[in-house]
A and B are shown apart, each in its own frame.
Chain A
Amino acid sequence: MFSGEPAQWMWEGFCTTMQISIISLICAMILGIVICVLRMTPFKPLQWFSLAFTEFFRNTPLLVQIFFWYNASYFVIPTVINDWMNDLYYWFPGPFSLFGHEFVGEWMLFNVELIMGIIALTVYTAAFIAEEIRAGIFSIPKNQLEASRAVGLSFLQGYRYVILPQALRIVIPPLISQALNLIKNSSLVMVLGVTDLMYQASQIESYHAMPFEAFTVALLIYLAISLVVSLCINLYNKHFMIQVMY
Chain B
Amino acid sequence: MHWDIVYNNFDYFLYGNTSLDWHFPFLHNPEGLVASVILAIFGIFGAFWLGLAAGLMRLSRNKWVKVPSVCYIEMIRGMPLLLLIFWFYYLAPVITGQNMPAFSTTMICFVVFTGAYVAEIVRAGVVALPKGQMEAARSTGLSHAQAMQLIILPQALRNMIPSFVNQFVSLTKDTSLAAILGVIELTRTGVQVDNREMVASFEIWIAIAGLYFMICYILTSYSRRLEAQLSRYQARNR
A60 to B177, CA, bound (A): 12
Chain A, interface residues (CB within 8 Å), range: 35 or more
A59 to B220, CA, bound (A): 8
Contact indicator B174/A74 (Cβ below 8 Å) = no
Quote the shortest CB–CB distance from B83 to chain A (angstroms). Answer: 6
Q: Which residue of A64, A188, A215, A216 is within 8 Å of B208 (Cβ)? A: A64
Given the known inter-chain contacts A61-B212, A65-B209, A226-B78, please indicate yes or no for A218 contacting B173, CB distance below 8 A. Answer: no
Quote the shortest CB–CB distance from B189 to chain A (angstroms). Answer: 11
Is B51 engaged at the interface, CB distance under 8 Å to the other chain? Answer: no
* A227 CB contacts on chain B under 8 angstroms: 74, 78
Quote the shortest CB–CB distance from B80 to chain A (angstroms). Answer: 4
A222 to B86, CA, bound (A): 14
Is A75 engaged at the interface, CB distance under 8 Å to the other chain? Answer: yes
Quote the shortest CB–CB distance from B191 to chain A (angstroms). Answer: 7
Is B87 engaged at the interface, CB distance under 8 Å to the other chain? Answer: yes
Quote the shortest CB–CB distance from B110 to chain A (angstroms). Answer: 13
Contact indicator B205/A202 (Cβ below 8 Å) = no
* B205 CB contacts on chain A under 8 angstroms: 64, 67-68, 71-72
* B177 CB contacts on chain A under 8 angstroms: 63, 188
Q: Which residue of A59, A73, A198, A216 is within 8 Å of B82 (Cβ)? A: A198
Q: Which residue among A59, A68, A71, A202 has the maximum number of chain B CB atoms within 10 Å of its CB?
A: A59
Given the known inter-chain contacts A223-B75, A226-B77, please indicate yes or no for A60 contacting B82, CB distance below 8 A. Answer: no
Is A5 engaged at the interface, CB distance under 8 Å to the other chain? Answer: no
Known contacts A60-B173, A212-B90; 15 further A-B pairs (Cβ under 8 A): A56-B209, A60-B212, A61-B174, A64-B205, A68-B206, A72-B202, A72-B204, A74-B201, A187-B83, A201-B86, A211-B90, A219-B79, A219-B83, A223-B75, A225-B78
Closest 4 CB pairs of A and B: A226-B78, A61-B176, A59-B216, A211-B90
